[in-house]
Amino acid sequence: MKTGLKLLLRDWRGGELGLLLVSLILATATITCISLFASRIHNSLYDEASQFLAGDAQISGSAPIPPPLQNEASQQNLQGALTIQFRAMVFSDESMHISATKAVAASYPLKGQIQIADTPFGAPTLVNHGPAEGEVWMASRLFGALAINIGDTVQIGEANFKATAAIIKEPDNAQSLFGVAPRALIHINDVEKTQAIQLGSRVNYTWMLAGDSSSVETFKQYFEANKGEHHRWVDIHEQNRSVGSALNRAESFLLLAGSLGVVLCGLAIALAARRYAMRQATNVALLKTFGQTPNKISRLYCGNLLALGVVGILPGAVVGWGLHWGIIFALQDLLPNGLASASVSALFIGAGSGIVALAAFAAPPILSLRQVSPAAVIRLDSQSALNFGWLSWLPGVLAIIGLIFWYSQSLQLTLVLTLGLAVCCIGISICARLIILASRVTTKKLTGSWRLGLANLQRHRQMNSVQILVFSTLLMLLFTLTLTRTSLISQWQNQIPEGTPNHFVFNIFSEDRTPIAEKLASAQVEHSPFYPMMRGRLIEVNGVTVKDILETEEVPHNYARELNLTWSNTLGSDNKIEQGEWWQTNTPRPQGLYVSAELEYATGLNMQLGDVLTFSISGERVNAELASIRSVQWDSMNPNFYMIFDRTVLDGTAANWLTSFYLAPEQKPFLNDLIKTYPTVSVIELDQLIAQLQSIVSQVTLAVEFILMLVLAAGVLVLVSSVQATLDVRMQESAILRTLGAPKRLVGNILLIEFGALGALAGLLAAVGTETAFYFLQTRVFNLQYQPQPIMWLVAPFIGAALIGAVGWASTRKVVHIAPAKLLREIG
């Protein structure tokens, strides 16, 4: 132990341990920082998104919430808030109007706030509670429809209420675009007074839940095991497709970035450990000469490695913890207010990754020191004295796979990354050898520093092939992450462009279409085309009832519900034909009705092209042949339908019409005028929903940007470690050239050309790997459309040459400033 301590202190004073210790500290700090920051951003995004539910989750159904569920939630320390929703007429002295009445408990909302105003469409005030007993808060446009003001009395069912506020926004207002009347909000204790809920009334009971994620997940498992047929579990992914899609992709990116951070930091430790082991070969040879056995040498260096782990991992975790706070402080104006705390597991990922990386990456080369031959060291051939071999990388590869899965908890992401890296590494290794061999012809035609610099590629083929593999893999990972980030941000920003329709008007009678279009035009409000819309239910497929199909196929979804149906000759831009063909406007078609079905719906009922679907529409049976199956981009904020017919159904008598338009905040009073003129129409206001969604997308974008910067920092660490790992050989050759009289400028140019050539080759090979990895990530992980990146093939070699050339030159520049004799003594 005393010998080991002396060696450790001597190596530290001599600078031998510097790179390994710095790599370990930075690796642990980087992973800790990424884990903590990503965890807090992830939790904050979900906290923000959970406001769409006014809680972390909901149990929703047509029957009251069973007491056993409420008792179990209490045992899990979950907060609960019950709401009851039903339709009821609201009467004033002047008029009446149907409303979507919601009765809320005193604890509502559990997440988010209600925005109310003292005048319709007025400046909002934030509150954390609902109305008091005897009061009603109403949607702003309901005041116009009833011709009343704040403070007036209205009647809902058999009870009178004082209208005390106008609702500007509810936290859980992500409703269906079709079939929603303006909101009237009352206290839950007033429901019985209204007598509006009678036998046969359509009522929805929603129980909102909030608590820590583990308790919510535990309760969800209990609910799934004990749920009845009248209730379903709702979370943000189901309630709002746009938010769910953005969060899913952001989560996948954070996991991808964190996993790549694990790979890069592990690689940095491996390279630093190999350099340290190479420089210890002489010491081990001397120890063996003095009688030390291989087992004693292994124990000696394993003890030193353990001490190094304690010295490096604990400070690294502390540095990572402090660094993540520094980032939060620096970006406090951009990050969400009240950033959520990190998950407990995130605190241990950095330290745990450091321990695993040290054992898997650093231990194999250190343990191989027991194989050092004193004779080889005497011949000054430490390369043959230490033959690591490809098997020495096996523990590191297994550790990377385990760490990626531990970090991401995603088998798909782990397999994609592992297989992708394996294929790319094999391909890059083969290509690197071939390119270096092929460059021999070019080298012979050159002179001066160019010939000497490129000749070094030939002279150290094995070493340079490994370096090209490392550089190419590093650049490929960074290019892939950067392209993925750019693609995701572009998709998010295009999801809700400026001017996206934020108001939907439906229940428009055929005779009102033209007057409403003229009224919109006179107010300079551009609107989308008018869509026909009718309610109907699919009842049979090829003569088999949907109920029987559901029982046979054991499909969990409620496919027997009523649907919004339409007919059209034009396929929407956010619809894509997956099977069959879309009908054309001017193409003659056989007699009979044809229909196009949405992909998930058709798959759930095992529909095939040519099936005859039977619908019940306004009490009539309507048959249609399935002509095509479509995938639908539900998060586009455009009207979309599960079923689209090719022509008018039932002469159009069962349909009303729908249109959408964008209203700026100052144009909101136009709604009152529209509703007064056409009291039968219904309006859905999505401006607050879109604003909230845009806020979440903005925060997701910032999170992606910050995580990318952290991973790039890890990439720089790998780059420096890789250059340092082969520094001794290059420094020795440069010192010999200086001794033989080579001028400083020539030596510097040789190093710059060699590193630049390595970088250019690595960049070219990285472009190949990036294109392949990007394709699989886009199509398999993020479910986005793949777009080739031709510009990268031109830019990647230049980026590689500039980046690696600069790092290589910075690491070796002292060779032109230090005397050759002193330099040779330093490198032994």
Q: What is the pLDDT of residues 672-685, one digit of tens each?
A: 788 778 877 777 77
> What is the distance between the alpha carbons of residues 460 and 469, in angstroms, rounded to a whole number?
14
Give the pLDDT mean for 45-74. 81
> Residue 345: its pLDDT value, please?
73
Taking the model in full, what pTM does it have? 0.60
Give the 3-state secondary structure of residue 81. Answer: strand
Per-residue pLDDT averaged across 88-117, rounded? 88
Per the listing, tokens 């909102």 go with 208
Unique residue bearing structure tokens 């392209």: 483
Give the range with max mean pLDDT: 51-60, 66-75, 291-300: 66-75
Bond prior to 109 in cis (omega within 30° of 0): yes
Tokens 């009523």 label which residue?
562
pLDDT, position 630 = 94
- Type of residue at 250: A
CB-based contact 59:232 (threshold 8 Å): yes
pLDDT tens-place string over residues 692-745: 666 666 666 666 667 667 667 767 767 777 776 666 676 777 777 777 777 777
Q: What are phi and psi of 684, to 5 degrees?
A: -110, 125
Contact call for residues 804 and 719 (beta carbons, < 8 A): yes
Give how far the C-alpha of residue 285 lies from the chain's centroid of Cα atoms, to the nearest Å. Answer: 52
The two tokens of residue 511 are 């005779």
What is the per-residue pLDDT across 772-823, written as a single tens digit (0 to 9) for each?
Answer: 878 877 777 666 777 788 888 888 889 888 888 888 777 777 666 666 666 5
Give 524-563 pLDDT, tens digit per residue: 888 888 888 888 889 999 998 888 877 665 555 566 678 8
Return the domain boundaries, the chain: 2-47+245-494+694-826, 55-234, 527-661
- Do the Cβ atoms of 90 and 99 come closer than 8 Å? yes
Report for 104-113, 220-229, 655-664: range of highest mean pLDDT: 104-113
**Residue, of 380 and 446, whose pLDDT is higher:** 446
Q: Is the pLDDT of residue 272 over 80?
A: no
Helix axes 790-812, 744-776, angle to 10 degrees: 140
Element (H, E) at 772: helix 744-776
pLDDT at 165 over 90: yes
Contacts of 646 by beta carbon, 8 Å cutoff, 6+ apart? 567, 569, 583, 589, 593, 594, 595, 596, 627
In which band, very low, low, confident or very high, does the pLDDT at 349 lie, cut at 50, 70 and 90? confident
Residue 68 has pLDDT above 80, yes or no: yes
CA angle 630, 634, 640 (to 5 degrees): 65
**DSSP string spanning 581-613?**
-PPPTTS---SS-EEEEEHHHHHHTT--TTPEE
Separation in Å, CA 99 to CA 115, 145, 576:
19, 11, 36
Q: Residue 127: its pLDDT value, please?
A: 92
Tokens representing 253 are 């990116």
Element (H, E) at 100: strand 96-104
Residue 603: pLDDT over 90: no
* Best-predicted range by mean pLDDT (229-238, 240-249, 286-295, 525-534): 525-534
Q: CA-to-CA distance for 440 and 457, rounded, in angstroms?
A: 9
How many Cβ atoms are within 10 Å of 362's Cβ, its own excluded?
Answer: 26
List the one residue out of 511, 540, 537, 516 whose CA is nearest residue 653: 511
pLDDT of residue 246: 60
Query: Is residue 159's pLDDT more than 80?
Result: yes
Instruction: For tokens 């990190």, name the residue.
Output: 342
DSSP string for residues in 258-316: HHHHHHHHHHHHHHHHHHHHHHTHHHHHHHHHTT--HHHHHHHHHHHHHHHHHHHHHHH
3 state SS for 549-561:
HHHHHCCCCCCCC
Using only C-alpha atoms, what is the Rg of the chain? 34
CB-based contacts of 543, cutoff 8 Å, min separation 6: 612, 614
Tell me which amino acid residue 795 is.
V
pLDDT at 153: 94
Q: Which of 448, 469, 524, 537 is nearest to 748 (CA)?
A: 448
Longest dimension (CA), the chain: 107
Query: Residue ranges of the alpha helices (H) in 331-410?
Result: 344-357, 363-367, 374-378, 382-385, 394-408
Structure tokens given for 742? 């080579």
Q: Does the pLDDT of residue 623 top 90, yes or no?
A: yes
How confident is the model over 507-512, as a mean pLDDT?
84
pLDDT at 176: 45
Low-confidence winner among 181-195, 389-403, 656-670 (lowest mean pLDDT): 389-403
pLDDT of residue 626: 94
**With bands split at pLDDT 50, 70 and 90, how would you rate the model's confidence at 131?**
very high
Under a CB-based contact definition with an 8 Å cutoff, are residues 708 and 482 in contact?
yes
Compute how many other C-beta atoms are within 10 angstroms of the C-beta atom of residue 821.
Answer: 11
Tokens of 48: 């923000």
Residue 587 zone, left/alpha/beta (φ > 0; ψ -120 to 50; rest): beta
pLDDT interval class at 358 (50, 70, 90): confident
pLDDT band at 135 (very low <50, low <70, confident <90, very high): very high
Confidence of residue 495 (pLDDT cuts 50, 70, 90): low
Instruction: Answer positive or negative: Cα dihedral of 739, 743, 744, 745.
Output: negative
pLDDT band at 580 (very low <50, low <70, confident <90, very high): very high
The terminus-to-terminus CA distance of the chain in angstroms comes to 26
Q: Over the stretch 171-190, which tens digit does the pLDDT of each residue have?
A: 876 544 444 578 899 999 99
Beta strand ranges found along 413-550 (DSSP E):
503-508, 531-541, 544-545
**pLDDT number for residue 615:** 93
Residues 6+ apart with CB under 8 A from 627: 580, 581, 582, 583, 594, 595, 596, 609, 646
CA-CA distance, 750 to 456, in Å (whole number)? 9
The Cα 458–Cα 502 span in angstroms is 64
The pLDDT of residue 274: 78
Asked whether 607 and 554 are in contact (CB, 8 A), the reply is no
Query: 567 or 669: which carries more pLDDT confidence?
Result: 567
The larger pLDDT score, comparing residue 628 to residue 442, is at 628
Between 647 and 623, the more confident residue is: 623
Most confident by average pLDDT, 184-193, 338-347, 473-482? 184-193
In three-state secondary structure terms, 812 is helix
| 517 compared with 725, residue with greater pLDDT | 517
CB of 536 within 8 A of CB of 624?
no
- % of the chain with per-residue pLDDT over 70: 74
Annotate 161-174 with b (16+ C-beta within 10 A) or e (fewer). Answer: bebbbbbbbbbbbb
Kindly report which listed range (65-69, 128-132, 288-292, 755-759) carries the lowest average pLDDT score: 288-292
Per-residue pLDDT at 625 exceeds 90: yes
8 Å CB contact between 445 and 735: no
The string of pLDDT tens digits covering residues 6-37 is 776 766 665 567 767 877 887 788 778 877 87
Owner of token pair 């009178």: 160
- Neighbouring-strand partners of residue 90: 97, 156
More confident of the two residues 384 and 416: 416
What does DSSP say about strands 125-127 and 183-187: parallel, antiparallel, or unpaired? unpaired
- Do the beta carbons of residue 638 and residue 494 sit within 8 Å? no
Q: What region does 216 belong to: left with phi over 0, alpha with psi -120 to 50, or beta? A: alpha
Can you give the pLDDT at residue 489? 65
User: pLDDT over 90 for what percent of the chain?
Assistant: 11
Do the beta carbons of residue 371 and residue 386 sit within 8 Å?
yes
Q: How sure is the predictor about 237, in pLDDT bands with cuts at 50, 70 and 90? A: low
Three-class SS string for 639-694? Answer: CCCCEEECCCCHHHCCCEEEEEECCCHHHCHHHHHHHHHCCCCEEEECHHHHHHHH
Calculate the average pLDDT of the chain.
78
Q: pLDDT-derived band of residue 134, with 50, 70 and 90 as boundaries?
A: very high
Cα 264 to Cα 370: distance, rounded to the nearest angstrom = 28
pLDDT of residue 178: 40
Neighbours of 335 (CB within 10 A): 20
Residue 146 has pLDDT above 50, yes or no: yes
Cα 236 to Cα 48: distance, rounded to the nearest angstrom = 10
CA angle (342 as vertex; 337, 345 as ends), nearest 5 = 170
Token pair for 524? 């300079």
Give the residue from 472, 343, 300 showing the smallest Cα distance to 46.
343
Is the confidence at residue 331, as pLDDT, over 70? Answer: no
Q: Kind of pairing, strands 620-632 and 575-580? A: antiparallel
